[in-house]
Chains A and B, each alone.
Chain A
Amino acid sequence: MNMTENTLDITQIRKDFPILSRKVNGNPLIYLDNAATSQTPRQVIDTIVDYYSNYNANIHRGVHTLAQEATEAYEGGRIKIQHFFNAAKAHEIIFTSGTTHSINLVANGFTAFLKKGDDVLVSAMEHHSNIVPWQMLCERTGASLKVIPMNNEGALLMDRYRDLLSDKTKLVVCNHVSNALGTINPIQELITLAHDVGAAVLIDGAQSSPHIKVDVQQLDVDFYTASAHKLCGPTGIGMLYGKEEWLAKLPPYQGGGEMIAEVTFEKTTYADLPYKFEAGTPNICGGIAFGAALDYLKTIGLEAIEDYEHELLAYATDKLLEIEGAKIYGTSKHKTAVISFNIKGIHPYDMGTLLDKMGIAVRTGHHCAQPIMDYYKIPGTIRASFSFYNTKEEIDLFIKAVKKAKEMLQ
């Protein structure tokens, strides 16, 4: 294989992640569940400790020094997110608790815009988080939810998508990368085609943002979502990018403090963007740490991460397919470093249990994407998902462990 050697100093990078030196069941941890959550570098942990040690305060209203420092750092986090995704304006970034919250915010807002006879298109390879809120929206409004099908490789059928699009289509929702299969969807094409019929597009970026450089302006996407905890940040914080024109139109999601301009018992006027959507005291530390996590990823470089992870994917795929009875689900040409697989005659749960005993963390089950498992008629898969801090040595140990477990189970 003619592949450029990676430029990343993985040994050095691994030192940034304290958790990578721990043991699990007596073995060094091999963490291959990055699609569920990424690990946290010292730089982000330090940021969290620094916040609570030195300037913990409520933001936006306080006149005292701590409040001002906290406000500045929190809004600084928003600007870092803006730059990371190349949004035109900082107020197009809404802090949420994560992708699920972001999607619900938009789905709730669209209640005002949909009626019976309208269509919402959703892809066949969505996480439940990007299915259920739209089902609920359709129940509320009488609109129809239609599914863009996929093929056996786990790639969307774009011809069928074209057929589904019509002037009735008001909204198209799709993930950028499938959490269960790793497929990278052709979202640029998907967005352009949707806009041709006047539909808005929400792209779930939970699985893409850690691995692919995203430019929301270039994509011309209406809404894009991400979760910090998949980007080396903490849990409980995420973001919704929305085009200003859309966010201005959407009604507020939750009422409370922070989101108001003026309140009387007769009438409340809402605050400007982004605060209209940020009721209550936000996850201040989370917002700051989210920014620190993006700083960290930037120093490593998303292009370098993408190249290296691709190398890991190719290496692990080859090694895994050498095992008799191994079958990989999701074989699209365009994939992030996710391998969903089964070994013939072995239940994913059994494999996951034994791998855990050997210190290897993988995910087993339906990965919150039951429609995909139904499509392949399987109860679930074993999913190994890689990150830039994983190594080929770890993959070798993982393959060895899969072989060992297979031996025990057959």
Chain B
Amino acid sequence: MSIQEIQDEIVDEFAMFEDWMQRYEYMIELGKSLPLIEEEYKVDDNIIKGCQSKVWVHAELADDKLVFTADSDAIITKGIIAILIRAFSHQRPQDIIDADTAFIDEIGLKEHLSPTRANGLVSMIKQLKLYAVAYQTQLN
């Protein structure tokens, strides 16, 4: 599936929720099922700055696609990362670079997009895209 198709799917899932509580319960569930980063990559170099909670992200290339794994010490943050990884992992770097992130707004997580927000969703997206840029350069 393309990034856009996955994002549409996520938007559809979130549309079923009637209130914030269901939305957050779902995110907490997603957080618990996040594909965890290997311990060896859970190092300070992989920490995304600007987060009140700690976030580690690791990227590696499998064929021509980028695979992300991550972890956080806060469960809601893990849920947010899980959503991002679902949308961006196993995709070609160029597609990740070009991807739009408006779906975050549509699923009611807009409040997490503010740059002052301590969870650093903005930093997370930026970091995923930076990895994509780095690997795209490698592919070229």
- Taking Cβ atoms with an 8 Å cutoff, the residues of A that contact B are 25, 347, 349-350, 353-354, 357, 364-365, 379-380, 408-409
Q: Which of A350, A408, A409 has the most CB of B within 10 A?
A: A350
A347 to B52, CA, bound (A): 10
**Interface of chain B residues 1 through 47 with chain A (CB within 8 A):** 20-21, 24-25, 28
In the bound complex, do residue A347 and residue B74 qualify as a contact, i.e. CB atoms below 8 Å apart?
Answer: yes
In the bound complex, do residue A350 and residue B76 qualify as a contact, i.e. CB atoms below 8 Å apart?
Answer: yes
Is B118 an interface residue when CB atoms closer than 8 A count as contact?
yes
Show 30 A/B contacts (Cβ-Cβ < 8 Å), sorted by A: A25-B20, A347-B53, A347-B75, A347-B77, A349-B52, A349-B76, A349-B118, A349-B119, A350-B53, A350-B74, A350-B77, A353-B24, A353-B76, A353-B119, A354-B24, A354-B76, A357-B20, A357-B21, A357-B24, A364-B52, A364-B118, A365-B52, A365-B118, A379-B54, A379-B73, A380-B52, A408-B21, A408-B25, A408-B28, A409-B75
- Taking Cβ atoms with an 8 Å cutoff, the residues of B that contact A are 20-21, 24-25, 28, 52-54, 73-77, 118-119
Q: Which residues on A sit within 8 Å (CB–CB) of B77?
A: 347, 349-350
- Measured between C-beta atoms, what is the minimum distance from B78 to chain A in Å? 9
A349 to B25, CA, bound (A): 15
A57 to B21, CA, bound (A): 51
Q: Which residues on B sit within 8 Å (CB–CB) of A364?
A: 52, 118
CB-based closest 6 A-B pairs? A347-B74, A349-B74, A349-B53, A349-B52, A350-B76, A350-B74
Q: Which residues on B sit within 8 Å (CB–CB) of A379?
A: 53-54, 73
- With CB as the reference atom, state the residue of chain A lying closest to B51: A349
Q: Which residues on B sit within 8 Å (CB–CB) of A347?
A: 53, 73-75, 77
- With CB as the reference atom, state the residue of chain B lying closest to A366: B52
A350 to B25, CA, bound (A): 12
A365 to B52, CA, bound (A): 6
A364 to B75, CA, bound (A): 15
- With CB as the reference atom, state the residue of chain B lying closest to A379: B73
A353 to B111, CA, bound (A): 11
- Measured between C-beta atoms, what is the minimum distance from B49 to chain A in Å? 14
- Measured between C-beta atoms, what is the minimum distance from B138 to chain A in Å? 34
A353-B76, A380-B52 given; name 19 further pairs at CB < 8 Å. A347-B53, A347-B73, A347-B74, A347-B75, A349-B52, A349-B74, A349-B76, A349-B119, A350-B75, A353-B119, A354-B76, A357-B20, A357-B24, A364-B52, A365-B52, A365-B118, A379-B73, A409-B28, A409-B75
